[in-house]
Amino acid sequence: MRIRKKKDSIKANFEKFLKDYNCTYTVNQEENGATYFNFEFQAGHFVAAIRQQDDCVDVTFPSITTVPVSQLPLVRSKCNEHNNSNILFKFTYSLDHEDSQVSVHLSFFNNTFDANTMLSELKAAFHFQRHWIRDYDEAVSISKDYEDIDMESELYKHHREMFLLRRLELSHQMGANVTSISAGTGSLSLWQLLETINPLLECQLLFMTVNTVSGQQRIEDETSIRNYDLRHALVQGTGKEARLARDYALIDLHYKQGRDEKPMMATISITAEGEDDRSIYSRVTVTIQPRNASRQNSLSNEGRQPHSVSLLIALDRNDDKKRQQEFEYMWSDAQLKAHNGEKDSLTEDQLLLGQVRVADVAYNMYWGIQAFNSGRYYEAILYLENVYNSYRCDFFEMGPEGKRMFLETAYKLGFCYNELGLYKQAFYYLDLTSNDGNIRHTMEMVNTMANGKDVRLFSYTEAVMDEVKRNFSEDEEMPDSIRDFINFLRRRRGYAYINFNQLDKAEKIFTQMLGEEDNADYAIRELAYIKDLRQRNEDVDASTREEKSNHDDGSQPIKPPF
């Protein structure tokens, strides 16, 4: 049984704490029995409340910062974001309508009052105040072009995209890539998927078996195999009547590539991932068998390596009519605002959509952007490649806005292919955007070359860093966003040096990063990996020397009995 401390005892201990640390304070007594302390601690103003029914001290930092009320959506977003990641401190805000400002507050509880804990929490409050303000200032900088629209929504999209860009900085210990694709109402054919993740242009289809809880189905007709609908593999019915009919399906696709190749098999597993009022979700995992070894396909060839990708697909219960109505409304709204000179009220996505004049192309642009923003990368490719192909021959006839729309489409396609791990296809699109001055585009190009083990990465990143240095004099303070970008390039170069077995060069880069707050954690992981690689190489060399020594003594290696 816990014995509740008396309020008077807590009050006395708290007053002693304030005196011990030379804090100036005043005491106010409320009618409901609560006692409020207004006190100064290290030049910061705080309010502490001790209520009659509680045995704790409720401390508030009333104003860690104030911002214009026009930035309320951004304040709300930042408070929610920090509250989700901080257990001890909570961020709230209040409106001052007279001054048109938003005040941001920080608060915490000191349970069963303890002086040492109170001291550490008050000091931590200043740390989290600085952290919140720094994060918020960066968000304002990102959102400066969206003053008349919903900054919270735009900032979310930007942060999500930047998160995905940085997520591709995978340390070497991390596992395989898992990617999401879309909900939709149309069919998603098996061949369409295979052509995207691993083109089988000269493939001879033999047969396919579909294994479910109901039994096995064998399909030998080539057209039926190509058109097999993955969306309906586990689902029966359409629209509002669609329902899950089974929990899994396992497909074995047997095929041949080339005249001399032995039959090969691709395995496609489909499992149920739940449903909601709008969609029924399934996960599709495709594993392509390594090709047989030959003079044209040596053991070191990429074709000898297994290829696997996992995607989330969904069957949308809404009909195509509603999708068409949504597109028509958004397209018309974007065009009308652009025509009336209201471009400042348009989002980046609406600006792109407003540049498209042909209805069919605009439809693909709209739904491609929606899929891209939702992480539905495979579906985004299906839409956005239609946009790209429709405009590429008109590139030299476009004005500046049209070219910007075209290059942003190419960037999004490269981004999607990169997420699928298809680096050659990603490079095809990103190469168009790599020198347009957009940091996001450059980062994605670097990610593609680093993860695709492209030797051009080193000359490319060196040229980019030299250009940045030319734009900033030695005594000029570099913006945080540019400094983060340079750190990103350094990390990617170190990562690539490891892939090319240049361990000394990689070690030098990551050792320099150990004393840098933004890079230390990543550097520690990569240095540990370098150490592990060197140990493996030493073990292999020792084993080779031992085997050679055994053969040099005149003995013959034992031959296997086959």
Picking from 415, 418, 429, the residue whose alpha carbon sits closest to that of residue 451 is 418
Structure tokens at 143: 């959102």
What is the reported pTM? Answer: 0.60
Where residue 258 falls (left for φ over 0; alpha for ψ -120 to 50; beta otherwise) is: left
- Calpha distance 338→341 (Å, rounded): 5
Please report where in the chains the tokens 């004005």 appear, as a residue: 399
Picking from 321, 322, 290, 285, the residue whose alpha carbon sits closest to that of residue 303 is 290
Where residue 18 falls (left for φ over 0; alpha for ψ -120 to 50; beta otherwise) is: alpha
Structure tokens at 366: 């709209």
- The 3-state DSSP composition of the chain as helix, strand, coil percent (nearest 5) reads 50, 20, 30
Picking from 424, 428, 432, 433, the residue whose alpha carbon sits closest to that of residue 451 is 424
pLDDT number for residue 547: 63
| CATH number among 1.25.40.10, 1.10.287.3610, 2.40.50.140, 1.10.2020.10, domain 321-537 | 1.25.40.10
One-letter identity of residue 323? R
Q: Is-contact 327 366, C-beta < 8 A?
A: yes
pLDDT number for residue 510: 92
DSSP letter string, 119-188:
HHHHHHHHHHHHHHHHHHHHHHHHTGGGTTS-HHHHHHHHHHHHHHHHHT---TT----EEEEEEESS--
Please report where in the chains the tokens 């006190």 appear, as a residue: 39
pLDDT number for residue 495: 92
| β-bridge pairing 178-184 and 215-219 | unpaired
Where residue 83 falls (left for φ over 0; alpha for ψ -120 to 50; beta otherwise) is: alpha
Please report where in the chains the tokens 């395989």 appear, as a residue: 176
pLDDT number for residue 136: 87
Rounded to 5 degrees, what are φ and ψ at 482? Answer: -75, -40
pLDDT number for residue 174: 43
Structure tokens at 128: 């989290």
Terminal Cα-to-Cα distance of the chain (whole angstroms): 77
Instruction: Spell out where 168-306 has E strands.
Output: 178-184, 203-212, 215-219, 235-236, 243-244, 248-257, 264-275, 279-288
pLDDT number for residue 89: 87
Per-residue pLDDT of the chain (562 residues; tens, 9 = 90+): 344 445 557 888 888 999 988 899 999 877 667 888 999 998 899 999 887 666 678 899 998 999 887 788 788 888 888 887 777 889 998 887 666 788 999 998 876 677 888 888 898 899 889 989 988 888 777 665 444 445 555 555 565 566 566 555 655 544 434 443 333 566 788 888 887 776 555 678 889 999 988 888 999 998 999 899 988 889 888 877 888 888 999 999 998 876 656 788 889 999 988 787 767 888 888 888 776 555 454 444 454 455 677 777 778 777 777 778 888 888 888 888 877 777 777 778 888 888 888 888 899 999 899 888 877 788 888 889 999 999 888 888 888 888 889 999 999 999 998 888 888 899 999 999 987 888 899 999 999 999 899 999 999 999 998 888 887 766 567 788 888 889 999 999 999 999 999 999 999 999 999 988 888 988 999 999 999 988 888 877 666 666 666 655 555 544 443 3
Q: Which residues pair with 250 in a beta bridge?
A: 211, 269
- Calpha distance 405→320 (Å, rounded): 26
- Calpha distance 381→168 (Å, rounded): 19
Exposed (0-12), middle (13-18) or buried (19+): which is 75, by Cβ within 10 Å? buried
CATH architecture group of domain 7-142: 2-Layer Sandwich (3.30)
- Calpha distance 432→406 (Å, rounded): 10
- Calpha distance 31→24 (Å, rounded): 24
For the chain, the structural domain boundaries read 7-142, 186-292+304-317, 321-537
Q: Is-contact 203 258, C-beta < 8 A?
A: no
CA 175 to chain centre: 15
| β-bridge pairing 90-96 and 264-275 | unpaired
Q: Is-contact 151 74, C-beta < 8 A?
A: yes
Domains 7-142 and 321-537 in one fold: no
Number of H helices, E strands in the chain: 17, 15
CA 106 to chain centre: 29
